[in-house]
Amino acid sequence: MPPPAVPPATDPASALLERFLALVAAGDFAGALPVIERLAALLPDSGRIHGYHGFTLERLERADDALAAYGRALALDPGYLDARYNRACLLARRNDPAAEAAFAELIARAPDHPGAAAALATLSAQRLQPRFDEARTRARAGDRAGAEAVYRAILAELPDNVPVLHNLATLVGTRDPQDAIRLWQRALTLEPDNLEARAALGQFLFAQGHVAAALPHLEAVVAHRPDHTAIAELVQAQADLAAWPELARLTPRLIAAIQAGTPVTPLAAVRFADDPALVLAAGRHFTAHVLGQAFPGGVAARRHVRPATAPATSPGRLTIGYLSSDLRGHIIGLLLAAVIERHDRARFAVHAYQLGRRVDPTTERIRAAVAGYADVSGLTPEQVATRIAADRVDVLIEMNGWTRDGRSEALAARPAPVQLQWLGYAGTSGSAFVDYVIADDVTVPPGDERWYTEKILRLPGTHQPFDPALIPSARPTRDELGLPEGALVLAALVPHWKITPPVFAVWMQALRALPDAVLWLADGAGAARHNLTNAAAAHGVAAERLVFARRVPMREFLGALAAADLFVDTFPYGGHSTASGALFAGLPVVALAGQGFAGRVAASVLRAAALESLVTRDLDGYARTILQLGRDRGALGRLRAELAAKRATAPLFDLERFVRALERGYEAAWARWHAGQPADHITVVGV
């Protein structure tokens, strides 16, 4: 670039330079050209004058001549940085491959040169854009290893490329969580205000269970973008910590975001709002968002041809498939294993599709019980659908819904003619590709069908099975569990996010009214224990009245439940398998039924146990029932005896009957499709 104006000239060269600068300042480059050419003839060994010549030629769009002039300038004065920068920029504008080397040489001479590093990064990124596109295409196609290799090759040249760091972190998170965290942290060191990378890191840390580490990232994102999807994880994180003041501030914002169409995970609506209409809205928004990501070119749903044989009233042997990320020692996997083992092999060929990467003895138990097993965890949604369709599955049961590690969107490609959702998600998917939700007339009472995009397949008794083999015969003593002998133990062994201030206030009221009672809570993060203890103190209850249980394996946990006197359920998201487990362990459960599916499961299993008297309809009734039983140990003892007697007759305790009802539901749904009828509500009776 030309230098600043100079004092009036006293020699011919200085006079020409002064005139040249004046013409350039006026934008008259055509007039400036003969002047700078005369100067170059007068001062042929001046690199600066040749640089000015190149600058003028460049403005007159004589690029080749300008490059030649810049070359002469640099040959005379290799340290002339302005000429070097102008030449590199001109090469870049001409898309000349030599531009990158020109900028690199400039940076080598002047590492702090303003603009050179950014220009070189932009050029390199443009050159590598086809490789970046290749990596994304490979990732979408399910070639994770190939995509990772391409991204790492790009990073070898561009170690500070934030989009590549972000995409690679997203790609490797499942395989190497620590590497993913390092990549996102590097991206944020380079671009602290990058909300996409910060939200991804916060959401990933939260999913990995690092709640305290996730919080500052989630809070920063939501502070800048109140409607960001990270609001869901931020609400969940504060709930995990029992940070109720923050929860009171954030939950209305979560609800507003859903109502405004933000595609937050619908699980947040299921957990934190007793509002089936909100769950439906969240499901619809999220479904549209996920389908756009999973199938950017649109979904090509399969068309299934109805077989000519097997009349609808006698469907023959059906092929059914279970799709889940929890085919392991998770409660879903444990319950499903018991169901699969009891399926009638004469009527059903059972397949299982594993979405999770963790394998344990329960996984092997399921694998041994099915006709076909496939690990589809590394596949894209379309590939998952293709794999299931290859097995000619008639009825597919998706068991995650919109929970972590699920792949519900695979059902959009219609891998099976009949598709159902069951057990893992307490609400509607909000999609058009799930035909039925398996429920019962308590979880989805007549009239509530309007809150579901699916039809309702209602089972008799309850929609939720339980395996009595999960309850160990050996029960730990109270002393072994750290519980006081002789105390009235109210058990609330649930994740802390389920505990809400209104329900906690009822528990504290019970502790104040029952001096010998203690509240048995699950262990959790230190901050949660601190917050719960402080909340108890605010209610006038001493810290020692709260007993925190240590973490133990599932069967050990279920066996320990019998040491309590009464299980007090939560609201609006109540107990599900834990409520069933308590009843199987002989522990009565007091429940408060809500409006949505998630708040009605405990009521469902109590009805199936013939103990509907323990289902309450409001907080006053809930509090009154707890106090009545707490004050009358004799009544509580009789209730436990009644519960023990029900094991011989109540539907909840008959797993064989449950499986027969479930099978009849599958056959009824298949029969409608086979007959050419659209899906419709089904009620299984007479089992």
Coil, helix or strand for 437? strand
**Cα gap 455→449, rounded to integer Å:** 7
Determine the pLDDT at residue 89.
87
Low-confidence winner among 107-121, 297-311, 469-483 (lowest mean pLDDT): 297-311
Determine the pLDDT at residue 340.
98
Cβ(576)–Cβ(603) under 8 Å? no
**Cα gap 114→489, rounded to integer Å:** 70
Determine the pLDDT at residue 309.
57
The stretch 544-570 carries a mean pLDDT of 94
DSSP-derived secondary structure letter, 630:
H
**Of residues 8 and 175, more confidently modeled:** 175
The stretch 310-337 carries a mean pLDDT of 86
**Cα gap 256→263, rounded to integer Å:** 12
Determine the pLDDT at residue 117.
84
pLDDT in tens, 579-620: 999 999 999 999 999 999 999 999 999 999 999 999 999 999
Within 10 Å of residue 334's Cβ, how many Cβ atoms? 22
pLDDT at 6 over 70: no
**Cα gap 585→565, rounded to integer Å:** 11
pLDDT at 665 over 90: yes
pLDDT at 631 over 80: yes
pLDDT in tens, 558-573: 999 999 999 999 999 9
pLDDT at 282 over 90: yes
Determine the pLDDT at residue 310.
53
**Cα gap 156→139, rounded to integer Å:** 19
pLDDT at 315 over 80: no
Which structure tokens are listed for 336?
Answer: 């499903």
Those residues whose C-beta lies under 8 Å from the C-beta of residue 173, and which sit 6 or more positions away, are 180, 204
**Cα gap 229→257, rounded to integer Å:** 8
Which structure tokens are listed for 405?
Answer: 């590690």
Burial 60-92 (b: 16+ CB within 10 A, else e): eeebebbbebbebbbebbeebbbbbbbbbbbbb
**Cα gap 281→266, rounded to integer Å:** 8
Cβ(53)–Cβ(36) under 8 Å? yes
**Cα gap 418→333, rounded to integer Å:** 22
Determine the pLDDT at residue 13.
87
The shares of helix, strand and coil residues in the chain, as percent rounded to the nearest 5, are 55, 10, 35
What is the pTM for the complete model shown? Answer: 0.86
**Cα gap 234→119, rounded to integer Å:** 38
Cβ(597)–Cβ(444) under 8 Å? yes
The stretch 157-169 carries a mean pLDDT of 93
Cβ(555)–Cβ(476) under 8 Å? no
Q: What percent of the chain has pLDDT over 90?
A: 80
pLDDT in tens, 457-509: 999 999 999 999 999 988 899 999 999 999 999 999 999 999 999 999 999 99
The stretch 244-265 carries a mean pLDDT of 96
The stretch 549-556 carries a mean pLDDT of 90
Nearest to 96 by CA among 87, 85, 104, 107: 87
pLDDT at 5 over 70: no
Nearest to 556 by CA among 635, 472, 477, 494: 472
Q: How would DSSP label each residue in 140-159?
A: HTT-HHHHHHHHHHHHHH-T
**Of residues 99 and 43, more confidently modeled:** 43
**Cα gap 620→310, rounded to integer Å:** 55
Determine the pLDDT at residue 639.
96
Average pLDDT, the chain: 93
Q: How many helices (H) and strands (E) does the chain have?
A: 28, 14
CA dihedral of residues 616, 619, 624, 627 (deg, nearest 10): 110
pLDDT at 289 over 60: yes
119 — pLDDT class (breaks 50, 70, 90) = confident
Cβ(586)–Cβ(640) under 8 Å? yes
pLDDT at 137 over 70: yes
pLDDT at 311 over 60: no
Q: Is the peptide bond before 296 cis (omega within 30 degrees of 0)?
A: no
Q: What angle do CA 77, 81, 86 make, to 5 degrees?
A: 110
Coil, helix or strand for 354? strand
Q: What percent of the chain has pLDDT over 70?
A: 97
pLDDT in tens, 338-391: 999 999 999 999 999 999 888 999 999 999 999 999 999 989 999 999 999 999
Determine the pLDDT at residue 3.
46
**Counting Cβ atoms within 10 Å, is residue 587 exposed (0-12), middle (13-18) or buried (19+)?**
buried
HEC string of 82-110 equals HHHHHHHHHHHHCCCCHHHHHHHHHHHHC
Cβ(180)–Cβ(169) under 8 Å? yes
**Cα gap 194→192, rounded to integer Å:** 6
Nearest to 319 by CA among 345, 293, 339, 291: 345
Relative to beta strand 546-549, strand 517-522 is: parallel
Determine the pLDDT at residue 219.
96
